[in-house]
Chains A and B, each alone.
Chain A
Amino acid sequence: MSETILEIRHLSKSFGSNQVLKDIDFTVRPGDVTSIIGASGSGKSTLLRCINLLETPTSGEVRFHGQNVADKGVNAAAYRSKVGMVFQSFNLFDNMTVLENCMVGQVKVLKKPKDQARENAMKYLEQVGMAPYIKAKPRQISGGQKQRVAIARALAMEPEVLLFDEPTSALDPEMVGEVLSVMKDLAAGGMTMLVVTHEMAFARDVSNHVAFMKEGVIWESGDPRSLFANPQRQETRDFLARFRQQ
Protein backbone atom coordinates (compact mmCIF):
# COMPACT_ATOMS: atom_id res chain seq x y z
CA MET A 1 0.00 0.00 0.00
CA SER A 2 2.81 2.41 -0.72
CA GLU A 3 1.21 3.90 -3.83
CA THR A 4 -0.98 6.92 -3.07
CA ILE A 5 -3.20 8.95 -5.40
CA LEU A 6 -3.82 11.97 -3.22
CA GLU A 7 -1.89 13.22 -0.24
CA ILE A 8 -3.18 16.26 1.60
CA ARG A 9 -0.49 17.83 3.77
CA HIS A 10 -1.04 20.70 6.23
CA LEU A 11 -3.83 22.11 4.09
CA SER A 12 -5.35 25.36 5.32
CA LYS A 13 -7.92 27.65 3.74
CA SER A 14 -9.11 31.03 4.92
CA PHE A 15 -11.80 33.29 3.52
CA GLY A 16 -10.62 36.64 4.84
CA SER A 17 -10.15 36.27 8.56
CA ASN A 18 -12.38 33.20 8.65
CA GLN A 19 -10.24 30.07 8.74
CA VAL A 20 -12.36 27.24 7.34
CA LEU A 21 -9.72 24.52 7.08
CA LYS A 22 -6.99 24.08 9.67
CA ASP A 23 -3.96 21.94 8.96
CA ILE A 24 -5.73 19.06 7.24
CA ASP A 25 -3.74 15.87 6.63
CA PHE A 26 -4.91 12.74 4.94
CA THR A 27 -4.14 10.26 2.22
CA VAL A 28 -6.17 8.54 -0.50
CA ARG A 29 -4.91 5.24 -1.90
CA PRO A 30 -6.13 3.52 -5.08
CA GLY A 31 -9.45 1.79 -4.47
CA ASP A 32 -10.17 3.71 -1.27
CA VAL A 33 -13.72 4.83 -0.65
CA THR A 34 -13.35 7.62 1.87
CA SER A 35 -16.37 9.31 3.42
CA ILE A 36 -16.07 12.70 5.07
CA ILE A 37 -18.84 13.32 7.56
CA GLY A 38 -19.62 16.26 9.79
CA ALA A 39 -22.18 18.99 10.38
CA SER A 40 -22.92 21.68 7.80
CA GLY A 41 -20.31 24.42 7.84
CA SER A 42 -17.58 22.14 9.15
CA GLY A 43 -15.48 22.68 6.01
CA LYS A 44 -16.14 19.35 4.26
CA SER A 45 -17.15 20.88 0.95
CA THR A 46 -14.36 23.46 1.06
CA LEU A 47 -11.88 20.62 1.56
CA LEU A 48 -13.21 18.86 -1.53
CA ARG A 49 -13.15 22.10 -3.54
CA CYS A 50 -9.56 22.72 -2.46
CA ILE A 51 -8.58 19.23 -3.57
CA ASN A 52 -10.06 19.97 -7.00
CA LEU A 53 -8.48 23.46 -6.98
CA LEU A 54 -11.86 25.12 -7.41
CA GLU A 55 -10.70 27.00 -4.32
CA THR A 56 -7.05 27.92 -3.99
CA PRO A 57 -5.61 26.57 -0.73
CA THR A 58 -4.19 29.30 1.50
CA SER A 59 -1.31 27.07 2.51
CA GLY A 60 -0.32 23.42 2.45
CA GLU A 61 0.03 20.84 -0.27
CA VAL A 62 -2.30 18.74 -2.40
CA ARG A 63 -0.08 16.01 -3.81
CA PHE A 64 -1.36 14.07 -6.79
CA HIS A 65 0.93 11.08 -7.38
CA GLY A 66 3.54 12.93 -5.34
CA GLN A 67 3.34 16.20 -7.28
CA ASN A 68 2.05 19.24 -5.44
CA VAL A 69 -0.75 20.57 -7.67
CA ALA A 70 -1.32 23.64 -5.48
CA ASP A 71 1.98 24.95 -6.86
CA LYS A 72 1.78 28.04 -9.03
CA GLY A 73 3.18 26.55 -12.22
CA VAL A 74 0.84 23.54 -12.34
CA ASN A 75 -1.76 23.33 -15.12
CA ALA A 76 -4.93 23.14 -13.04
CA ALA A 77 -7.13 22.19 -16.02
CA ALA A 78 -5.01 19.15 -16.89
CA TYR A 79 -5.06 18.01 -13.25
CA ARG A 80 -8.84 18.47 -12.95
CA SER A 81 -9.41 16.27 -15.99
CA LYS A 82 -7.94 13.37 -13.97
CA VAL A 83 -9.97 14.11 -10.85
CA GLY A 84 -13.73 13.85 -11.40
CA MET A 85 -16.17 15.89 -9.37
CA VAL A 86 -19.88 15.43 -8.73
CA PHE A 87 -21.65 18.47 -7.29
CA GLN A 88 -24.56 18.85 -4.92
CA SER A 89 -26.37 20.99 -7.50
CA PHE A 90 -25.46 18.69 -10.45
CA ASN A 91 -24.07 21.54 -12.62
CA LEU A 92 -24.99 19.79 -15.85
CA PHE A 93 -24.58 22.00 -18.91
CA ASP A 94 -28.05 23.33 -19.58
CA ASN A 95 -27.40 24.02 -23.26
CA MET A 96 -26.58 20.39 -24.08
CA THR A 97 -28.44 17.10 -24.13
CA VAL A 98 -27.60 14.32 -21.69
CA LEU A 99 -25.36 12.65 -24.27
CA GLU A 100 -23.56 15.88 -25.20
CA ASN A 101 -22.94 16.56 -21.52
CA CYS A 102 -21.03 13.30 -21.30
CA MET A 103 -19.19 13.83 -24.61
CA VAL A 104 -18.04 17.44 -24.48
CA GLY A 105 -15.22 16.89 -21.98
CA GLN A 106 -13.85 13.92 -23.91
CA VAL A 107 -13.93 15.79 -27.22
CA LYS A 108 -12.68 19.19 -26.04
CA VAL A 109 -10.30 18.23 -23.24
CA LEU A 110 -9.13 14.69 -24.07
CA LYS A 111 -9.36 15.39 -27.84
CA LYS A 112 -11.04 12.07 -28.56
CA PRO A 113 -12.77 11.57 -31.90
CA LYS A 114 -16.52 12.07 -31.67
CA ASP A 115 -17.66 8.51 -32.36
CA GLN A 116 -15.29 7.14 -29.77
CA ALA A 117 -16.48 9.73 -27.24
CA ARG A 118 -20.09 8.82 -27.97
CA GLU A 119 -19.41 5.12 -27.48
CA ASN A 120 -17.63 5.78 -24.21
CA ALA A 121 -20.37 8.14 -23.00
CA MET A 122 -23.01 5.52 -23.81
CA LYS A 123 -21.10 2.93 -21.79
CA TYR A 124 -21.22 5.05 -18.66
CA LEU A 125 -24.75 6.31 -19.24
CA GLU A 126 -25.84 2.69 -19.42
CA GLN A 127 -23.97 1.98 -16.21
CA VAL A 128 -25.97 4.67 -14.37
CA GLY A 129 -29.19 3.67 -16.12
CA MET A 130 -29.58 6.90 -18.06
CA ALA A 131 -29.12 5.54 -21.58
CA PRO A 132 -32.82 6.01 -22.43
CA TYR A 133 -32.57 9.75 -21.79
CA ILE A 134 -29.65 10.68 -24.06
CA LYS A 135 -31.81 13.07 -26.07
CA ALA A 136 -33.21 14.95 -23.05
CA LYS A 137 -32.02 18.34 -21.86
CA PRO A 138 -31.12 18.67 -18.16
CA ARG A 139 -34.22 20.81 -17.46
CA GLN A 140 -36.41 17.94 -18.65
CA ILE A 141 -35.28 15.26 -16.18
CA SER A 142 -35.58 14.77 -12.42
CA GLY A 143 -32.97 15.57 -9.79
CA GLY A 144 -31.94 11.96 -9.28
CA GLN A 145 -31.59 11.47 -13.02
CA LYS A 146 -29.53 14.66 -13.31
CA GLN A 147 -27.17 13.44 -10.62
CA ARG A 148 -26.78 10.08 -12.37
CA VAL A 149 -25.92 11.92 -15.60
CA ALA A 150 -23.44 14.06 -13.66
CA ILE A 151 -21.79 10.87 -12.39
CA ALA A 152 -21.66 9.49 -15.92
CA ARG A 153 -20.17 12.77 -17.16
CA ALA A 154 -17.43 12.54 -14.54
CA LEU A 155 -16.82 8.85 -15.28
CA ALA A 156 -16.60 9.46 -19.02
CA MET A 157 -13.39 11.39 -18.38
CA GLU A 158 -12.03 8.17 -16.86
CA PRO A 159 -10.69 9.93 -13.77
CA GLU A 160 -8.33 8.31 -11.30
CA VAL A 161 -10.34 9.50 -8.36
CA LEU A 162 -13.91 10.74 -8.12
CA LEU A 163 -14.95 13.45 -5.66
CA PHE A 164 -18.57 13.65 -4.52
CA ASP A 165 -19.74 16.87 -2.87
CA GLU A 166 -22.94 15.95 -0.99
CA PRO A 167 -24.34 14.23 -4.08
CA THR A 168 -27.72 13.45 -2.52
CA SER A 169 -28.34 16.55 -0.41
CA ALA A 170 -30.34 18.41 -3.06
CA LEU A 171 -32.52 15.41 -3.88
CA ASP A 172 -36.01 14.44 -2.78
CA PRO A 173 -35.91 11.43 -0.43
CA GLU A 174 -37.31 9.03 -3.02
CA MET A 175 -34.52 9.89 -5.46
CA VAL A 176 -31.66 9.46 -2.99
CA GLY A 177 -31.79 5.70 -3.40
CA GLU A 178 -31.15 5.63 -7.14
CA VAL A 179 -28.05 7.80 -6.78
CA LEU A 180 -26.70 5.88 -3.78
CA SER A 181 -27.18 2.62 -5.61
CA VAL A 182 -25.08 3.90 -8.52
CA MET A 183 -22.38 5.02 -6.08
CA LYS A 184 -22.45 1.66 -4.32
CA ASP A 185 -21.89 -0.11 -7.64
CA LEU A 186 -18.99 2.20 -8.41
CA ALA A 187 -17.39 1.48 -5.05
CA ALA A 188 -17.84 -2.23 -5.60
CA GLY A 189 -16.19 -1.84 -9.00
CA GLY A 190 -13.00 -0.55 -7.38
CA MET A 191 -13.39 3.17 -8.13
CA THR A 192 -11.37 5.44 -5.87
CA MET A 193 -13.89 7.77 -4.29
CA LEU A 194 -13.88 10.65 -1.84
CA VAL A 195 -17.41 11.34 -0.66
CA VAL A 196 -18.68 14.24 1.43
CA THR A 197 -22.01 13.02 2.67
CA HIS A 198 -24.80 13.25 5.21
CA GLU A 199 -25.84 9.68 4.42
CA MET A 200 -24.48 7.93 7.50
CA ALA A 201 -25.56 4.51 6.31
CA PHE A 202 -23.56 4.98 3.12
CA ALA A 203 -20.51 6.13 5.07
CA ARG A 204 -20.77 3.15 7.40
CA ASP A 205 -21.62 0.38 4.93
CA VAL A 206 -19.95 1.35 1.67
CA SER A 207 -16.79 3.27 2.51
CA ASN A 208 -13.65 1.69 3.90
CA HIS A 209 -12.42 4.87 5.52
CA VAL A 210 -14.32 7.60 7.37
CA ALA A 211 -13.16 11.02 8.50
CA PHE A 212 -15.16 13.19 10.89
CA MET A 213 -14.76 16.94 10.48
CA LYS A 214 -15.76 19.76 12.76
CA GLU A 215 -14.78 23.43 12.55
CA GLY A 216 -12.22 22.81 9.83
CA VAL A 217 -10.38 20.03 11.60
CA ILE A 218 -10.41 16.26 11.11
CA TRP A 219 -11.12 15.05 14.65
CA GLU A 220 -11.19 11.39 14.02
CA SER A 221 -10.70 9.08 11.10
CA GLY A 222 -10.36 5.41 10.48
CA ASP A 223 -12.25 2.24 9.80
CA PRO A 224 -16.00 2.98 9.51
CA ARG A 225 -17.13 0.04 11.64
CA SER A 226 -15.02 0.99 14.63
CA LEU A 227 -15.60 4.72 14.20
CA PHE A 228 -19.36 4.33 14.16
CA ALA A 229 -19.50 1.66 16.84
CA ASN A 230 -16.89 3.05 19.12
CA PRO A 231 -16.03 6.72 18.50
CA GLN A 232 -12.99 7.84 20.44
CA ARG A 233 -13.66 11.57 20.66
CA GLN A 234 -16.49 13.29 22.48
CA GLU A 235 -17.16 15.51 19.38
CA THR A 236 -17.67 12.44 17.21
CA ARG A 237 -19.94 10.86 19.79
CA ASP A 238 -22.08 14.04 19.98
CA PHE A 239 -22.37 14.24 16.21
CA LEU A 240 -23.25 10.56 15.75
CA ALA A 241 -25.72 10.69 18.65
CA ARG A 242 -27.72 13.35 16.85
CA PHE A 243 -27.94 11.15 13.81
CA ARG A 244 -28.96 8.10 15.76
CA GLN A 245 -31.92 9.96 17.24
CA GLN A 246 -33.41 10.53 13.80
Chain B
Amino acid sequence: MERFQQLASDIVKLWERCGGDYLNGIKNTLILALVATAIGCVIGLICGILNTIPCAKNDPPVKRFFVKLIRVIVRIYVEVFRGTPMILQAVFIYYGLPYFTFNTVQWPSVWAASILVVSVNTGAYMAESVRGGIISIDPGQTEGAKAIGMNHVQTMTSVILPQALRNIMPQIGNNLIINIKDSSVMFIISFTEFFAAHRGAVGATYLYFPSATIEMAGYLTMTLAASFLLRWVEKRMDGADSYELVQADQLTMAAGTYSHPDRGTPFDERSKEERERIRQELKHGRTRGDR
Protein backbone atom coordinates (compact mmCIF):
# COMPACT_ATOMS: atom_id res chain seq x y z
CA MET B 1 0.00 0.00 0.00
CA GLU B 2 2.81 2.26 0.94
CA ARG B 3 4.42 1.75 -2.49
CA PHE B 4 1.22 2.77 -4.23
CA GLN B 5 1.07 5.96 -2.20
CA GLN B 6 4.69 6.61 -3.14
CA LEU B 7 3.85 5.95 -6.80
CA ALA B 8 0.91 8.34 -6.66
CA SER B 9 2.99 11.13 -5.16
CA ASP B 10 5.80 10.50 -7.69
CA ILE B 11 3.33 10.72 -10.54
CA VAL B 12 1.95 13.98 -9.18
CA LYS B 13 5.48 15.30 -8.88
CA LEU B 14 6.34 14.25 -12.42
CA TRP B 15 3.15 15.72 -13.82
CA GLU B 16 3.77 19.07 -12.12
CA ARG B 17 7.22 19.20 -13.61
CA CYS B 18 6.74 17.66 -17.08
CA GLY B 19 2.95 17.52 -17.61
CA GLY B 20 3.15 19.89 -20.56
CA ASP B 21 5.73 17.68 -22.27
CA TYR B 22 3.53 14.60 -21.84
CA LEU B 23 0.47 16.36 -23.27
CA ASN B 24 2.48 17.75 -26.14
CA GLY B 25 3.81 14.24 -26.79
CA ILE B 26 0.27 12.80 -26.84
CA LYS B 27 -0.78 15.50 -29.28
CA ASN B 28 2.14 14.85 -31.60
CA THR B 29 1.72 11.07 -31.45
CA LEU B 30 -1.97 11.32 -32.30
CA ILE B 31 -1.44 13.73 -35.18
CA LEU B 32 1.39 11.61 -36.60
CA ALA B 33 -0.60 8.36 -36.28
CA LEU B 34 -3.82 9.77 -37.78
CA VAL B 35 -2.17 11.62 -40.67
CA ALA B 36 0.21 8.77 -41.49
CA THR B 37 -2.56 6.15 -41.34
CA ALA B 38 -4.75 8.24 -43.64
CA ILE B 39 -1.94 8.77 -46.15
CA GLY B 40 -0.96 5.10 -45.82
CA CYS B 41 -4.52 4.06 -46.67
CA VAL B 42 -4.46 6.24 -49.77
CA ILE B 43 -1.12 4.71 -50.82
CA GLY B 44 -2.58 1.25 -50.19
CA LEU B 45 -5.69 1.99 -52.26
CA ILE B 46 -3.63 3.34 -55.15
CA CYS B 47 -1.43 0.23 -55.04
CA GLY B 48 -4.60 -1.87 -55.01
CA ILE B 49 -5.93 -0.15 -58.14
CA LEU B 50 -2.55 -0.44 -59.88
CA ASN B 51 -2.19 -4.10 -58.93
CA THR B 52 -5.57 -5.03 -60.40
CA ILE B 53 -5.34 -3.29 -63.79
CA PRO B 54 -6.71 -5.93 -66.13
CA CYS B 55 -4.21 -7.28 -68.62
CA ALA B 56 -5.29 -9.79 -71.24
CA LYS B 57 -3.12 -11.77 -73.61
CA ASN B 58 -4.40 -9.88 -76.64
CA ASP B 59 -3.61 -6.41 -75.28
CA PRO B 60 -0.89 -4.47 -77.12
CA PRO B 61 2.65 -5.38 -75.91
CA VAL B 62 3.37 -1.82 -74.74
CA LYS B 63 0.41 -1.87 -72.38
CA ARG B 64 1.31 -5.32 -71.12
CA PHE B 65 4.88 -4.19 -70.48
CA PHE B 66 3.76 -1.18 -68.45
CA VAL B 67 1.21 -3.18 -66.47
CA LYS B 68 3.89 -5.76 -65.61
CA LEU B 69 6.37 -2.99 -64.74
CA ILE B 70 3.87 -1.31 -62.42
CA ARG B 71 3.18 -4.60 -60.68
CA VAL B 72 6.90 -5.25 -60.19
CA ILE B 73 7.45 -1.75 -58.76
CA VAL B 74 4.52 -2.10 -56.35
CA ARG B 75 5.77 -5.52 -55.33
CA ILE B 76 9.29 -4.24 -54.63
CA TYR B 77 7.89 -1.33 -52.63
CA VAL B 78 5.76 -3.64 -50.50
CA GLU B 79 8.54 -6.15 -49.88
CA VAL B 80 11.17 -3.53 -48.98
CA PHE B 81 9.07 -1.50 -46.58
CA ARG B 82 7.36 -4.50 -45.02
CA GLY B 83 10.61 -6.34 -44.67
CA THR B 84 12.78 -3.77 -42.84
CA PRO B 85 12.34 -2.21 -39.34
CA MET B 86 10.62 1.16 -39.33
CA ILE B 87 13.27 2.56 -36.97
CA LEU B 88 15.93 1.84 -39.60
CA GLN B 89 13.78 3.26 -42.41
CA ALA B 90 13.57 6.48 -40.38
CA VAL B 91 17.35 6.71 -40.04
CA PHE B 92 17.84 5.70 -43.66
CA ILE B 93 15.53 8.36 -45.04
CA TYR B 94 16.35 11.14 -42.55
CA TYR B 95 20.11 10.92 -42.99
CA GLY B 96 20.07 9.60 -46.54
CA LEU B 97 18.76 12.82 -48.09
CA PRO B 98 21.58 15.09 -46.81
CA TYR B 99 24.14 12.32 -47.45
CA PHE B 100 23.33 12.09 -51.13
CA THR B 101 23.01 15.83 -51.66
CA PHE B 102 26.25 16.72 -49.81
CA ASN B 103 24.19 18.42 -47.08
CA THR B 104 22.71 20.90 -49.57
CA VAL B 105 19.20 19.50 -49.06
CA GLN B 106 18.00 18.89 -45.52
CA TRP B 107 14.64 17.69 -44.31
CA PRO B 108 12.56 20.82 -43.64
CA SER B 109 11.43 19.33 -40.31
CA VAL B 110 11.33 16.03 -38.47
CA TRP B 111 7.56 16.18 -38.98
CA ALA B 112 7.91 15.77 -42.73
CA ALA B 113 10.38 12.92 -42.39
CA SER B 114 8.33 11.16 -39.69
CA ILE B 115 5.04 11.41 -41.59
CA LEU B 116 6.75 10.15 -44.72
CA VAL B 117 8.31 7.14 -43.00
CA VAL B 118 5.21 6.09 -41.10
CA SER B 119 2.89 6.64 -44.13
CA VAL B 120 5.10 4.73 -46.50
CA ASN B 121 5.42 1.91 -44.01
CA THR B 122 1.66 1.78 -43.41
CA GLY B 123 1.07 1.97 -47.17
CA ALA B 124 3.13 -1.17 -47.69
CA TYR B 125 0.96 -3.12 -45.27
CA MET B 126 -2.25 -1.52 -46.55
CA ALA B 127 -1.40 -2.46 -50.14
CA GLU B 128 -1.65 -6.10 -49.16
CA SER B 129 -4.80 -5.54 -47.08
CA VAL B 130 -6.44 -3.71 -49.99
CA ARG B 131 -5.47 -6.54 -52.33
CA GLY B 132 -7.15 -8.95 -49.93
CA GLY B 133 -10.19 -6.68 -49.71
CA ILE B 134 -10.52 -6.49 -53.49
CA ILE B 135 -10.20 -10.27 -53.87
CA SER B 136 -12.96 -10.71 -51.30
CA ILE B 137 -15.50 -8.84 -53.47
CA ASP B 138 -17.69 -11.06 -55.67
CA PRO B 139 -16.48 -10.93 -59.32
CA GLY B 140 -20.13 -10.34 -60.24
CA GLN B 141 -19.76 -6.78 -58.93
CA THR B 142 -17.00 -6.11 -61.44
CA GLU B 143 -19.03 -7.68 -64.24
CA GLY B 144 -22.07 -5.62 -63.33
CA ALA B 145 -19.99 -2.46 -63.49
CA LYS B 146 -18.32 -3.45 -66.76
CA ALA B 147 -21.69 -4.33 -68.27
CA ILE B 148 -22.92 -0.75 -67.88
CA GLY B 149 -19.76 0.51 -69.55
CA MET B 150 -17.54 1.54 -66.65
CA ASN B 151 -13.78 1.50 -67.16
CA HIS B 152 -11.31 0.09 -64.64
CA VAL B 153 -10.88 3.25 -62.56
CA GLN B 154 -14.65 3.94 -62.45
CA THR B 155 -15.34 0.33 -61.48
CA MET B 156 -12.76 0.50 -58.73
CA THR B 157 -13.67 3.87 -57.25
CA SER B 158 -17.47 3.57 -57.47
CA VAL B 159 -18.10 -0.11 -56.84
CA ILE B 160 -15.19 -2.24 -55.68
CA LEU B 161 -13.14 -0.04 -53.33
CA PRO B 162 -16.08 1.25 -51.26
CA GLN B 163 -16.99 -2.37 -50.56
CA ALA B 164 -13.38 -3.48 -50.10
CA LEU B 165 -12.79 -0.53 -47.78
CA ARG B 166 -15.66 -1.61 -45.57
CA ASN B 167 -14.21 -5.15 -45.43
CA ILE B 168 -10.74 -3.94 -44.47
CA MET B 169 -11.90 -1.41 -41.84
CA PRO B 170 -10.78 -3.77 -39.03
CA GLN B 171 -7.36 -3.88 -40.70
CA ILE B 172 -7.24 -0.08 -40.95
CA GLY B 173 -8.04 -0.03 -37.23
CA ASN B 174 -5.13 -2.37 -36.60
CA ASN B 175 -2.85 -0.08 -38.52
CA LEU B 176 -4.00 3.04 -36.67
CA ILE B 177 -3.39 1.39 -33.30
CA ILE B 178 -0.03 0.01 -34.41
CA ASN B 179 0.93 3.48 -35.61
CA ILE B 180 -0.05 5.11 -32.32
CA LYS B 181 2.32 2.75 -30.55
CA ASP B 182 5.08 2.29 -33.10
CA SER B 183 5.47 5.95 -33.97
CA SER B 184 7.47 5.94 -30.71
CA VAL B 185 10.49 4.75 -32.69
CA MET B 186 10.58 8.17 -34.35
CA PHE B 187 12.51 9.37 -31.27
CA ILE B 188 15.55 8.12 -33.24
CA ILE B 189 15.27 11.16 -35.50
CA SER B 190 14.40 13.30 -32.43
CA PHE B 191 10.69 13.59 -33.13
CA THR B 192 9.05 14.67 -29.85
CA GLU B 193 6.20 12.19 -29.54
CA PHE B 194 4.77 10.69 -26.36
CA PHE B 195 7.66 8.30 -25.66
CA ALA B 196 10.20 11.07 -26.19
CA ALA B 197 8.45 12.91 -23.33
CA HIS B 198 9.22 9.90 -21.12
CA ARG B 199 12.90 9.99 -22.07
CA GLY B 200 13.05 13.68 -21.30
CA ALA B 201 11.26 13.31 -17.97
CA VAL B 202 13.38 10.45 -16.63
CA GLY B 203 16.56 12.17 -17.78
CA ALA B 204 15.68 15.03 -15.46
CA THR B 205 14.07 13.14 -12.53
CA TYR B 206 15.23 9.48 -12.69
CA LEU B 207 11.63 8.45 -11.88
CA TYR B 208 11.62 5.58 -14.39
CA PHE B 209 8.70 3.53 -13.09
CA PRO B 210 6.27 6.36 -12.35
CA SER B 211 6.92 7.86 -15.77
CA ALA B 212 6.40 4.46 -17.42
CA THR B 213 3.09 4.19 -15.57
CA ILE B 214 1.97 7.49 -17.04
CA GLU B 215 3.07 6.29 -20.49
CA MET B 216 1.20 3.00 -20.17
CA ALA B 217 -2.00 4.74 -19.13
CA GLY B 218 -1.56 7.34 -21.87
CA TYR B 219 -1.02 4.84 -24.69
CA LEU B 220 -3.87 2.62 -23.53
CA THR B 221 -6.23 5.60 -23.44
CA MET B 222 -5.24 6.60 -26.97
CA THR B 223 -5.62 3.11 -28.41
CA LEU B 224 -8.96 2.53 -26.67
CA ALA B 225 -10.25 5.81 -28.04
CA ALA B 226 -9.08 4.76 -31.50
CA SER B 227 -10.89 1.42 -31.15
CA PHE B 228 -14.16 3.09 -30.25
CA LEU B 229 -13.80 5.63 -33.02
CA LEU B 230 -13.29 2.88 -35.61
CA ARG B 231 -16.24 0.82 -34.38
CA TRP B 232 -18.37 3.92 -34.73
CA VAL B 233 -17.10 4.55 -38.25
CA GLU B 234 -17.84 0.94 -39.21
CA LYS B 235 -21.38 1.29 -37.94
CA ARG B 236 -21.83 4.48 -39.91
CA MET B 237 -20.56 2.77 -43.07
CA ASP B 238 -23.03 -0.10 -42.70
CA GLY B 239 -25.93 2.35 -42.81
CA ALA B 240 -29.45 1.80 -41.58
CA ASP B 241 -30.83 -1.70 -41.11
CA SER B 242 -34.22 -0.73 -42.47
CA TYR B 243 -35.49 1.36 -45.33
CA GLU B 244 -38.60 3.36 -46.05
CA LEU B 245 -41.12 2.36 -48.67
CA VAL B 246 -42.12 5.22 -50.88
CA GLN B 247 -45.40 3.62 -51.92
CA ALA B 248 -46.86 0.16 -52.37
CA ASP B 249 -45.24 -2.25 -54.83
CA GLN B 250 -47.84 -3.34 -57.34
CA LEU B 251 -46.03 -6.34 -58.80
CA THR B 252 -45.13 -8.03 -55.53
CA MET B 253 -48.52 -7.33 -54.03
CA ALA B 254 -50.03 -9.04 -57.03
CA ALA B 255 -47.42 -11.83 -57.15
CA GLY B 256 -49.85 -14.47 -55.91
CA THR B 257 -52.42 -13.62 -58.54
CA TYR B 258 -50.08 -13.26 -61.48
CA SER B 259 -50.50 -16.09 -63.92
CA HIS B 260 -47.16 -17.60 -64.76
CA PRO B 261 -46.88 -18.55 -68.43
CA ASP B 262 -46.16 -22.19 -67.49
CA ARG B 263 -48.22 -22.79 -64.39
CA GLY B 264 -51.58 -21.76 -63.08
CA THR B 265 -52.14 -20.08 -59.76
CA PRO B 266 -54.46 -21.06 -56.93
CA PHE B 267 -56.78 -18.26 -58.05
CA ASP B 268 -57.24 -19.48 -61.59
CA GLU B 269 -60.70 -20.31 -62.85
CA ARG B 270 -61.10 -24.05 -62.82
CA SER B 271 -63.71 -26.34 -64.14
CA LYS B 272 -66.19 -28.01 -61.80
CA GLU B 273 -64.67 -31.42 -62.42
CA GLU B 274 -61.20 -30.22 -61.56
CA ARG B 275 -62.35 -28.56 -58.36
CA GLU B 276 -64.03 -31.82 -57.41
CA ARG B 277 -60.88 -33.77 -58.24
CA ILE B 278 -58.76 -31.50 -56.04
CA ARG B 279 -61.28 -31.80 -53.24
CA GLN B 280 -61.18 -35.58 -53.48
CA GLU B 281 -57.42 -35.56 -53.69
CA LEU B 282 -57.14 -33.59 -50.50
CA LYS B 283 -59.61 -35.91 -48.82
CA HIS B 284 -58.23 -39.27 -49.89
CA GLY B 285 -54.64 -38.58 -50.74
CA ARG B 286 -55.09 -39.40 -54.41
CA THR B 287 -57.77 -39.28 -57.02
CA ARG B 288 -60.39 -42.00 -56.75
CA GLY B 289 -60.73 -44.25 -59.75
CA ASP B 290 -57.42 -42.98 -61.03
CA ARG B 291 -56.44 -46.29 -62.56
- The reply to whether B143 and A137 form a contact with Cβ atoms under 8 Å apart is no
Chain B: minimal CB distance from A12 (Å): 14
- The reply to whether A181 and B258 form a contact with Cβ atoms under 8 Å apart is yes
A56-79 contacts to B (CB < 8 Å): 56, 72, 77-79
- The reply to whether B247 and A132 form a contact with Cβ atoms under 8 Å apart is yes
- The reply to whether A109 and B251 form a contact with Cβ atoms under 8 Å apart is no
B83 interface residue, CB < 8 Å from A?
Answer: no
A104 interface residue, CB < 8 Å from B?
Answer: yes
**Which chain B residues lie closer than 8 Å to A77 at the CB level?**
146, 149-151
Contact with B along A194-216 (1 / 0, CB 8 A): 00000111100100000000000
Specify the chain A residue showing the minimal Cβ separation from B242: A140
- The reply to whether A81 and B58 form a contact with Cβ atoms under 8 Å apart is no
Selected from A105, A131, A150, the residue in CB contact (under 8 A) with B247 is A131
B159 interface residue, CB < 8 Å from A?
Answer: yes
Measured in the bound complex, the distance between the Cα atoms of B255 and A142 in whole Å is 12
Chain B: minimal CB distance from A119 (Å): 15
B250 interface residue, CB < 8 Å from A?
Answer: yes
- The reply to whether B246 and A174 form a contact with Cβ atoms under 8 Å apart is no
A178-B258 CB under 8 A given contacts A91-B141, A131-B247, A145-B252? yes
Residue of B59, B154, B248 with highest tally of chain A CB at under 10 A: B154
Chain A: minimal CB distance from B244 (Å): 5
Measured in the bound complex, the distance between the Cα atoms of B260 and A177 in whole Å is 5
Selected from B148, B244, B259, the residue in CB contact (under 8 A) with A135 is B244
A140-159 contacts to B (CB < 8 Å): 140, 142, 144-145, 148, 150, 153-154, 157
- The reply to whether A80 and B255 form a contact with Cβ atoms under 8 Å apart is no
B110-167 contacts to A (CB < 8 Å): 138, 140-141, 143-151, 154, 158-159, 162-163, 166
**Which chain A residues lie closer than 8 Å to B244 at the CB level?**
135
Contact with B along A89-112 (1 / 0, CB 8 A): 111111101000000110011000
Measured in the bound complex, the distance between the Cα atoms of B147 and A87 in whole Å is 10
Chain B: minimal CB distance from A117 (Å): 12
A219 interface residue, CB < 8 Å from B?
Answer: no
A157-205 contacts to B (CB < 8 Å): 157, 173-178, 180-182, 199-202, 205
Top-3 shortest CB links A-B: A81-B149, A91-B144, A201-B261
Beyond A180-B261, A200-B262, 14 additional pairs, beta carbon < 8 A: A56-B56, A56-B58, A80-B146, A87-B144, A91-B140, A93-B144, A104-B159, A105-B149, A109-B154, A128-B251, A129-B250, A132-B246, A140-B242, A181-B251
Q: List 24 A-B contacts (CB under 8 A).
A: A52-B147, A56-B56, A72-B58, A80-B147, A80-B148, A87-B144, A89-B140, A91-B138, A91-B144, A93-B158, A104-B148, A104-B158, A109-B148, A129-B252, A131-B247, A153-B148, A157-B148, A173-B263, A174-B256, A175-B255, A177-B259, A178-B255, A181-B251, A200-B262
